[in-house]
Amino acid sequence: MNQDDARPPLPPGSATLPAAFYLDPGQFEAEFERFYVHRWVCVGRTESLAGPGDFLCPEIGDQRPILLRDDGGVLRAFHNTCRHRGTRLCDEPAGRLRGTLQCPYHAWTYALDGRLLGAPHMDDAPGFRCQDYPLAAAGVADWEGHLFVFLGEDPPDLHAALAPLAQRFAPWGMAQLREARRVTYDVRANWKLLIHNYSECLHCPMNHPALQKLSHYLSGVNVPPSERWLGGAMDLREGVDTLTPDGRTRRPFLPGLDPEARRRVHYYAVLPNLLLSLHPDYLMTHWLFPRAVDRTEVVCAWHFHPEALARADFDPDDAVAFWDITNREDWRLSELTQLGLASRGFRPGPYSNREDLLLAFDRIIRGETPRA
């Protein structure tokens, strides 16, 4: 019996959420406000803001904050709206600014630290002072190389909140890893269904034959769920190095991992939108960007150790190919679930004891404390 089976059973009557949670645009708006405005949202990797002027304008619902590195090397985030008449300042997804940020409408010009430097034709406006109109700041944080933004007021301390995870994953050295590849998927499913799908492996033998060959679906051990993350680990079968089509790796293992850590893959959903999959030789991330109640853009990226990347024979295709297939298998299941939830015959169904993380997540969605 593995540890997971020893966990207490779920409370009787534990059932999935009503369909409105997946179909009602009003519910979607309310969740967006709670989880994507009033929580830290992961938008990528800090390495994409390597030098002064580098910027990123991720799409988070109808918001396009500007994240950038200023001339002093400081990471900053601003709401993407001019202090004159509100125009979106930056309409590019990413790029490099040269010293300033200028509004395309009437050329109000801002320094990269948000100060308003110049406002044409405002000299004779009564009482006008540039210093009263800096860009509106948003929260920005670099956690272990992952770039986060906070759109609401008064961002809580992300590092404090995720400290136990930073400690648990220190051996993987996530901050040092570098992205080698990304694939973007347009998934016709509610964002919560993707977190559900990620948080259990009961569907694996039927749907992920390649994964099942390398890692047994019942080898999973979940850690007690928290308000901020849900996760666990699954063992690699004997003789399997990592998750690639043949179970072998052509890369060195990540240097901080001991022999025991090399025998497992860890899967963590950092709420609301970062999925961390830590392998012995690479990190895979998914960033979820909800677009509508029934649609989510998913960006999947593969990250490797700089020394592996520097080798002449470096090739991430094996890791990418394995997960691209598995991802698509998962999106299909999530899309079928989205469709089935709209059926006139749908009623909430019972969870098994191995769907404990899903129940915990649903409780968070309902505003209850997850059951540890």
* CA gap 283, 67 in Å, rounded: 23
CB distance 305 to 254 below 8 Å: yes
* CA gap 48, 95 in Å, rounded: 9
In the region spanning residues 61 to 90, those forming contacts with ligand FES, defined by CB under 6 A, are 82, 84-85, 87
CB distance 301 to 284 below 8 Å: yes
Q: Which stretch binds ligand FES (CB under 6 A): 99-107, 216-224, 284-292, 300-308?
A: 99-107
Q: Which stretch binds Fe ion (CB under 5 A): 8-16, 52-60, 75-83, 328-336?
A: 328-336
**Which residue lies nearer to ligand FES by CB, 78 or 302?**
78
**Which residue lies nearer to Fe ion by CB, 46 or 327?**
327
Binding partner at 108 among Fe ion, ligand FES, none, C-beta below 5 to 8 Å by kind: ligand FES
Among 179, 170, 319, smallest CA distance to 258 is for 170
Give residues with Cβ within 8 angstroms of 133, minimum separation 6.
83, 84, 108, 116, 119
Contacting residue, 105, 136, 202, 350, with ligand FES by CB under 6 A: 105
For position 91 contacting ligand FES by CB under 6 A, the verdict is no
For position 330 contacting Fe ion by CB under 5 A, the verdict is yes
What sign for the dihedral angle of Cα 211, 217, 221, 227?
positive
In the region spanning residues 266 to 325, those forming contacts with ligand FES, defined by CB under 6 A, are none
* CA gap 205, 184 in Å, rounded: 25
* CA gap 337, 295 in Å, rounded: 12
For position 128 contacting ligand FES by CB under 6 A, the verdict is no
Contacting residue, 57, 97, 103, 288, with ligand FES by CB under 6 A: 103
Shortest Å distance, C-beta 177 to ligand FES? 39
Both tokens of residue 337? Answer: 């679930």
Shortest Å distance, C-beta 187 to Fe ion? 13
- Where do we find the tokens 């601003």? 78
Binding partner at 330 among ligand FES, Fe ion, none, C-beta below 5 to 8 Å by kind: Fe ion
φ/ψ of residue 176, rounded to 5: -80, -20
**Which residue lies nearer to Fe ion by CB, 119 or 283?**
283
Cis peptide before 225 (omega within 30 of 0): no
3-state secondary structure at position 193: helix
For position 200 contacting Fe ion by CB under 5 A, the verdict is no
Both tokens of residue 228? Answer: 């901020």
Binding partner at 248 among ligand FES, Fe ion, none, C-beta below 5 to 8 Å by kind: none
Give the binding site for Fe ion (CB under 5 A): 330
Give the binding site for ligand FES (CB under 6 A): 82, 84-85, 87, 103, 105-108
